[in-house]
Amino acid sequence: MSVGWDDDEVVAGWPGLPPLSGDVVADACVVGLGASGLAAVEALADRGVAVVGVDAGRVAAGAAGRNGGFLIAGPALFLHDAIAAWGAEPALQLYRATLAELRGLADVLGPAVMRQVGSIRLAGLPGAPTSDAEAAQRVAELADCAALADALREHDIAVESYAGPLGEGLFLPDDAAVNPAVRAVELARRLAGRARLHEQTRVLDVRAGLVRTDRGVLRANAVIVAVDGRLDVLLPQLRGRVRTARLQMLSTAPLAEARLPCPVYSRHGYDYAQQRPDGRLFVGGGRDLFAADEWSADAEPTGQVQRWIEAVAARMAGEATGALPAVEHRWAASVGFTLDARPLCTMVDDGVVAVGGYNGTGNLVGPVAARAAVALALDGAAPPAWATS
- Domain contains 152: no
- Domain contains 78: no
pLDDT by residue, tens only, the chain of 389 residues: 699 999 999 999 999 999 999 999 999 999 999 999 999 999 999 999 999 999 999 998 999 999 999 999 999 999 999 999 999 999 999 999 999 999 999 999 999 999 999 999 999 999 999 999 999 999 999 999 999 999 999 999 999 999 999 999 999 999 999 999 999 999 999 999 999 999 999 999 999 999 999 999 999 999 999 999 999 999 999 999 999 999 999 999 999 899 999 999 999 999 999 999 999 999 999 999 999 999 999 999 999 999 999 999 999 998 644 567 899 999 999 999 999 999 999 999 999 999 999 999 999 999 999 999 999 999 999 999 999 99
Total domains in the fold of the chain: 1
CATH, residue 366: 3.50.50.60
- Domain contains 195: yes
> DSSP characters for 235-279?
-GGGBTTEEEEEEEEEEEPPPSS---SS-EEEGGGTEEEEE-TTS
The range of the structural domain enclosing residue 38 comes to 4-67+180-241+340-379
> DSSP characters for 300-312?
S--HHHHHHHHHH
- Domain contains 52: yes
- Domain contains 160: no
- Domain contains 370: yes
- Domain contains 165: no
Angle at 60 between CA 9 and CA 246, to 5 degrees: 120
- Domain contains 95: no
